[in-house]
Amino acid sequence: MSVSVAPDTLSLLNDLVAAARRAGADAADAMAVEGKSLSVGWRLGALESLQRAEGQDIGLRVFIGRRSAIVSSSDQSPAALAELVERSLAMAREVPEDSYAGLADPDQIAHAFPDIDSYDPTEPSAEDLIAATSRAEDAARAVAGVTNSDGAEAGWSSSRVAMVASNGFSHSYASSSHSLSAVALAGGGAAGGMERDYDYTSAVYYSDLEDPDGIGRTAGERAVRRLGAKRGRTGKVPVVFENRAARSLVGHLLGAINGASVARGTTFLKDAMGTLVFAKGITIIEDPLKLRGFRSRPVDAEGIATVRRRLIDDGHLTTWLLDLRSARQLGLTTTGHASRGISSPPSPSSGNVWLEAGSRSPEDLIAGIEDGLYVTDLVGMGVNGVTGDYSRGCAGFWIRNGQLAEAINETTIAGNLKEMFKSLTPANDLEFRAGTESPSVRIDGLTVAGV
């Protein structure tokens, strides 16, 4: 279902851009965002938090030559909008020139806007969210071995975005998000150390959320199976990343091919275009037009049409993630990856991205390992984007003779993303639960630091 912002919002933005042009701007664009949200926290059988927020903001970006400035306001009265124009132009006259700044050319902007079904008109009530969280927490606490709860949370949000620019672009769209999570604790006291784990579900449409009882039960079972965890063994071993941990590896790739980093030369993949970055046969898809996708959008924040593409095709890197500015720095054409807020300039970001599933099950990947590690959670952000060096804390299970054995925690895994990407083998358990996805993956030869 596609829902646009009210026509009067586009009209207001058009008038604001026109006023900026009359006041001396060579070019301008304006954006309006209207957002609503509702969240509930439930813990130990009682309501812990209930929050609702509503807001409406407008931002104006003006260009005087290659100088630009952005000013935003939540006040949309005529006097406030007149002041917005005056302040933005005054600021633009004072800032340094940026030779890469500027709007898209008129022949670059999108004129067709595919329906991405990004908006659910269902607005859950506080009672709906309370019922879901209480069910999830009750299910988690009912699991044998669960001794405490960190609660359950549910949330809903919707936003309506409109943008008008002096290059002729004008469009609006709406999006929504629903989520539910539960966190359980096991052990403690006479049982020894306490362990914590979680499960969650999120969706664009309320009806696509997973069952609260299942979310809570899985959270409890995951916490209990971690009881007795100890530090892993030190050595160089194969490592299997569970799918929800493996998606962070795809995230590291997206950071490394971000056009802003490429233009600055601060990424380990700066010279990798067209080369073999992953093993042959590996494919990573980006689809910002995916129906009901978490990061779907028909156009980017500069009015450029978004398209489905293979970021990695048969192991080869095919593209950077470019907005207009980074594309101009590199002497290339924007790829439609601009993202921005009301008061910030555009910068590159991705849409829905996933590593395509392989043919083997996670159990098959584990079965061939005599001595290794199965990672269920990652801690910290020890990743060097310039060199690709990778070092993160983790928790999970030791693999012994092809089977999951004792639980481990307080362990570190290390390697280099260049080698890790090339030795990655995907499993067949791809799930779409966030904006960046991956099946479970196996990577051989990582350094594990434990006892």
Output the pLDDT for position 330.
Answer: 97
Output the pLDDT for position 381.
Answer: 82
By CB atoms closer than 10 A (0-12, 13-18, 19+), residue 232 is buried
Note the residue count of the chain.
451
Output the pLDDT for position 170.
Answer: 96
Output the pLDDT for position 6.
Answer: 55
For residue 91, the 8-state DSSP code is: H
CA distance 60 to 85: 7
- Give me the helix-helix angle, 78-94 and 7-22, nearest 10°: 50
Show Cβ contacts of residue 6 under 8 Å, excluding neighbours closer than 6 positions.
none
Q: Which residues of the chain fall below pLDDT 70? A: 1-7, 189-192, 451
Alpha helices (H) along 370-451: 417-422
Q: Tell me the per-residue pLDDT of 32-45, one tens digit each, with 9 for 90 and over.
A: 999 999 999 999 99
∠ CA 242-248-254, rounded to 5°: 145
> Would you state the structure tokens that stand for residue 391, as one six-digit string?
């070092």
Single pTM value for the model: 0.94
Three-class SS of residue 131?
helix
Q: Tell me the per-residue pLDDT of 113-141, one tens digit each, with 9 for 90 and over.
A: 999 999 999 999 999 999 999 999 999 99
Amino acid (one-letter) located at 358: G
Output the pLDDT for position 368.
Answer: 87
The phi and psi torsions of 119 (rounded to 5 degrees) equal -130, 125
Output the pLDDT for position 193.
Answer: 81
Output the pLDDT for position 189.
Answer: 66
Domains by residue range for the chain, with CATH: 7-223 (3.30.2290.10), 229-451 (no CATH)
